[in-house]
Amino acid sequence: MSSPSTSRRVALLTLGCARNEVDSEEMAGRLTADGWQLVDPDEGGADVVLVNTCGFVESAKKDSVDTLLAASDSGAKVVAVGCLAERYGAELAESLPEADAVLGFDHYPNLGERLDDVLQGRTVESHKPVDRRTLLPISPVQRPQKAPEVALPGHGTAWGPQVLRTRLDKAPVAPLKIASGCDRRCSFCAIPSFRGAFVSRSAEEILGEAAWLATQGVREVFLVSENSTSYGKDLGDVRALETLIPSLAQVPGIDRVRVSYLQPAETRPGLVRAIATTPGVADYFDLSFQHSSEAVLRRMRRFGSTDSFLDLIKQIRDLSPTAGIRTNVIVGFPGETEHDLAELERFLTEGRLDAVGVFGYSDEDGTEALTLDGKLDADTIAERVARFSALVEELTAQRAEDRIGEQVVVLVEHEEDDDSDCVGRAAHQAPEVDGECVVLDADGLKVGDLVRAEVTDSEGVDLIVRPIEVLPR
């Protein structure tokens, strides 16, 4: 246990993806178990502000630094954790003296003690980054024996009979981490170097955490990792996800299971069937296509093509015609030509995806793409981002309009303050990224209700729906 002090109040600020949300709730669980009091960051009064940073792309890095600077204005001690801190460590500390400490993942198991040090004015040596892929064996099946010795954020929630996690909101949906790290070597991505090699959590631990989340009022869990399609390969079963998700759908109190972060090249027919046809599992496919030109994909160190990706979408829709499909694409990658862009446009047009994020390529420290020839200038990349953003805005709006007349099941997530409407998400809509459903005439509905509704209109990717019935819990 940490040494006592008169005031030990901590506020957590989380940036980035849902994986970071899980990590923050694990840190919150560790800190409360260690006697720290969690306070709302918006209400002030914290002795320490813990900023869980994102280090994925330049815009995310900037947001993280801006948040750290703003936190320092509060008068509280400021501690940086998360991906930016893990990736840059002492370099970040030197360039950002406003942060009282920069802690890496290896500090998480003793986080309360390190925050005590900060609060008492004791120097905490800044994290020194290493390539975290080197901390575990190359062979995935050898990792389970070594993994307990390596800090794996989001894997520390199993704590005897308890779950070492504290919810930071009351939402009826929560992320549930099934694995961490990645073994892929995409030429544009630095994530494996600071998140490490791929490690699965055991099914027993995941199911136990899902059951605990249900006691916290959660009705939907969405499974997160750096690469969910690799789940189980280090446990000796490459089809483990096909078994896990039906088991999660049987957990009492969990009414919807959503799978995120699927690699198209690893999405096998059995997994497609399990997601598309299992009751209680959202027929939702978050597929990381990134591009569809075979030439660009090879330079990205990825696999696939326009036609193979369209074949995968056909497999999905043969099983579930109304399934939700989303992706992200990168334009402006080194060497990308107008022919490559035409292939990407063909894929997006014929694929009829529900949501698409468009990103412009940017160099990332330590990646192979940093050294590739054929770099495009910033103005060209910005023009391509604008062009494809306009295209996908039109295409996804058309896809939403096609849903008019369908029935959807909406999880109510918040009520509108000024009228009788409420807002939630259907099975084809993931939190934060895929649009939402506005439920009209929602008198009597409350947050956490599952409502069967009819789609009557659309606004961009958002749907306007009218309730038919509330489904039993």
Task: Say how far apart CA 449 and CA 94 lie, in whole Å.
Answer: 49
DSSP-assigned states of every residue in 356-416: EEEEE----TT-GGGG-S-PPPHHHHHHHHHHHHHHHHHHHHHHHHHTTT-EEEEEEEEE-
What residue numbers does the annotated binding site for [4Fe-4S] cluster cover? 17, 54, 83, 182, 186, 189
According to DSSP, the residues that pair with 410 across neighbouring strands are: 451
In a 3-state reduction of DSSP, which class is residue 44? Answer: coil
In a 3-state reduction of DSSP, which class is residue 38? Answer: strand
**Could you tell me if 433 and 406 are in contact, meaning their C-beta atoms sit under 8 angstroms apart?**
no
What residue numbers does the annotated binding site cover? 17, 54, 83, 182, 186, 189
**How big is the chain by its Cα radius of gyration, in Å?**
22
Stated as kind and residue range, the H or E segment containing 191 is helix 191-195
- What angle, rounded to 10 degrees, do the helices at 338-351 and 306-319 form? 10
Q: How far apart are the first and last CA of the chain?
A: 40
Task: Say how far apart CA 278 and CA 247 lie, in whole Å.
Answer: 10
Backbone angles phi, psi at 245, to 5 degrees: -65, -40
Dmax (CA) for the chain in angstroms is 66
| Residue 373: count of CB within 10 angstroms of its CB | 6
Which pair of structure tokens corresponds to residue 61?
């890095």
Task: Say how far apart CA 421 and CA 412 lie, in whole Å.
Answer: 10
Residue 169: exposed, middle, or buried by beta-carbon count in 10 A (0-12, 13-18, 19+)? Answer: exposed
